[in-house]
Amino acid sequence: MAPRLGERSAGILVHPTSLPGPHGCGDIGATARAWIDFSASAAQSWWQMLPVGPLGYGNSPYSAQSAFAGNPLLVALDPLVERGWIDARMLGTASLPRARVDYPATHLFRMSCLREAAARFFARRDRDERRSFDAFVERERAWLDGFALFRAIKRAHDDVEWTRWPAPLRDRNADALARASHDLADEIAFEKLVQWIFDEQWRTLRAHAAARDVGLVGDVPIVVAHDSADVWEHRELFFLDDEGAPTYVAGVPPDYFSRTGQRWGNPLYRWRTLKRSGYDWWVRRMRSTLTRFDVARLDHFIGFQRYWRIPAREPNAVNGKWMKGPGADLFSVLERELGGLPLIAEDLGAITPSVKRLRDRLGLPGIRVLQFAFGTDPSAPDFLPHNHPRRAVVYTGTHDNDTTLGWFHDRGGEGARSPEQTEIERRAAMRYLGVRDAHEIHWDMIRAAYASVARTAIVPLQDVLGLGSEARMNHPGTLAGNWEWRFAASDLTPAIAERLADLARTYGRRRA
């Protein structure tokens, strides 16, 4: 059975696309189950990943086309061969890189395989398969109908964003939607089938994880992509103009990552409208998330207490304004409807006393990142292990950070840190960690995370493998080259598993 956040435990952060395999990116099939087996052998209680929705702008998992749907690129293809839906020779035609994800090529290959699977599925009319598929469609109708129609219309219009569709479709005219549903029936059926396959494979994956006592940690971005089924279908929930364009967008003020802040560009919620509906959309979103994951990380938790509102006309995030979020009101509804709040509050950034009070009132663990512990920022001491609260999750770094090796050896001057600042942090880290030779600084940092009194310690796989900046997952504020990193199966050696397991035993993070 899966662990609980209140237990002293450890885990690894790695996205499924980074898993090994011959089909362009990792998926949720056999290699994912092998990863879970490795995690169990290394005494890891958690597998944390990034959002798993269908990718949108910039291939970012944080810019998904749906808050409910699964990413088709994560569907494992080998099981479809076993079911007779794909010819094995078709998989043999793949000639895709394994070191990094080539998203255009991977998308082209995997979608062609899924289309072949759909053609065979609908042609052979297997009664049991069709009964299972129909049951899924009925069970998930609340989001699936709109998502499938969104994807079908989008593909019929060269994948342009929905605000550029013909006005009757953009504005969801009933007659126009009825015609599209009729004309695009095959495409709609295809999209629903892919989601059913994803759902079946995910259930298999989660059962495998539970059998190995490994919990799955998901990630819930507070905002959703503008070019998504959610915004197109529920325009009344967002600040949009008459043509569907955002009037205000989300982001964060200037911080550690950027001197001009981050202008995410996502539309902002009309929280008063959501409240009048009993937060129905959020309840459905979180219920869907917790059918897939044991725990969910709430990205940008600060935004629930107060959020940075940027006029859409602004080119960056400097001229934004703090606005009041829904606060405890939303979470009291979620707790009542979901029966609990198995959540991690990503509380990094401009945290205020009111944000801390909300987090603590809800009993949610916050986040401590060791890379933030050794600088001159006034908040740096909060990230030192001896200052961690027990109810916290400690990380060496996150998907938005450089790897530990990259961070440590960075000479500064190009990003937010100056050369002088990086040297201060290096010296402070070595002094605190008690090391003179930094050739294994990544393991020194992992040991410090495990030794922390924080009940949960999670480490990016790149740090476990001792990789440098070339393995960084994301550079906030940039578009090219992100989300592409992958590892090889041969990287996961028994020696690494035993080293992790030994640390887990030493610091009481291994379950009995």
pLDDT in tens, 462-500: 999 999 999 999 998 788 899 999 999 999 999 999 999
Lookup result for tokens 């937060």:
279
Give pTM, 2 decimals: 0.96
Q: 9-56, pLDDT tens digit by residue?
A: 999 999 999 999 999 999 999 999 999 999 999 999 999 999 999 999
Q: Which of 299, 410, 425, 463 is catalytic?
A: 299
423 included as an active-site residue: no
- Beta-carbon contacts of 357 under 8 Å, excluding residues fewer than 6 positions away, are none
Edge-to-edge strand ranges of the sheet holding 343-345: 343-345, 295-298, 215-220, 46-48, 9-13, 456-460, 392-395, 366-369
Edge-to-edge strand ranges of the sheet holding 248-252: 262-267, 248-252, 306-311, 321-324
Please write down the HEC assignment for all residues of 154-204: HHHCCCCCHHHCCHHHHCCCHHHHHHHHHHCHHHHHHHHHHHHHHHHHHHH
400 included as an active-site residue: yes
CA distance 114 to 107: 10
| Band of residue 510 on the pLDDT scale cut at 50, 70, 90 | confident
CA distance 206 to 212: 10
What's the distance, CA 228 to chain centroid? Answer: 16
The whole-number average pLDDT for the span 357-363 is: 97
Task: Supply the pLDDT for residue 479.
Answer: 82
Selection from 381, 373, 406, 389 nearest residue 455 by Cα: 389
Given a cut of 90, whether residue 70 has pLDDT beyond it is yes
Q: Are 487 and 422 a contacting pair, CB within 8 Å?
A: no
Task: Supply the pLDDT for residue 131.
Answer: 97
Give the residue, 253 or 105, on which the prediction is more confident.
105
Given a cut of 80, whether residue 342 has pLDDT beyond it is yes
Task: Supply the pLDDT for residue 392.
Answer: 98
What's the distance, CA 344 to chain centroid? Answer: 13
Given a cut of 90, whether residue 1 has pLDDT beyond it is no
Q: 329-340, pLDDT tens digit by residue?
A: 999 999 999 999
Task: Supply the pLDDT for residue 439.
Answer: 92
Given a cut of 70, whether residue 360 has pLDDT beyond it is yes
Task: Supply the pLDDT for residue 11.
Answer: 98
In sequence order, which ranges of 298-439 are alpha helices (DSSP H)? 302-305, 328-338, 353-362, 404-409, 419-433
* Run of H or E residues at 296: strand 295-298
Task: Supply the pLDDT for residue 512.
Answer: 60
CA distance 134 to 219: 29
What's the distance, CA 284 to chain centroid? Answer: 18
- Beta-carbon contacts of 18 under 8 Å, excluding residues fewer than 6 positions away, are 26, 461, 473, 485, 486, 487
Q: Which of 227, 400, 402, 425 is catalytic?
A: 400
* DSSP letter for each residue of 365-393: -EEEEGGGSSSSSTTGGGGSGGG--SSEE
The angle formed by the CA atoms of residues 227, 300 and 278, to the nearest 5 degrees, is 70
Q: Are 378 and 353 a contacting pair, CB within 8 Å?
A: no
Q: How far is CA 431 from CA 139, 379, 436, 438, 450, in A?
A: 56, 19, 8, 11, 18
Selection from 48, 34, 104, 119 nearest residue 73 by Cα: 104
Q: Are 160 and 242 a contacting pair, CB within 8 Å?
A: no
Given a cut of 90, whether residue 256 has pLDDT beyond it is no
CA distance 23 to 105: 10
The whole-number average pLDDT for the span 298-320 is: 95
Q: How far is CA 511 from CA 1, 12, 40, 377, in A?
A: 11, 15, 10, 36
The mean pLDDT of the chain is 95
346 included as an active-site residue: yes
Task: Supply the pLDDT for residue 415.
Answer: 65
The whole-number average pLDDT for the span 439-451 is: 97
Q: 259-287, pLDDT tens digit by residue?
A: 788 898 999 999 999 999 999 999 999 99
CA distance 64 to 297: 16
Q: Are 96 and 109 a contacting pair, CB within 8 Å?
A: yes
CA distance 453 to 124: 57
Q: Which of 346, 402, 410, 425 is catalytic?
A: 346
What's the distance, CA 366 to chain centroid? Answer: 17
Question: What b/e readout covers 190-219, taking b as 16+ CB neighbours within 10 angstroms?
Answer: bbbbbbbbbbebbebbbebbeebbbbbbbb
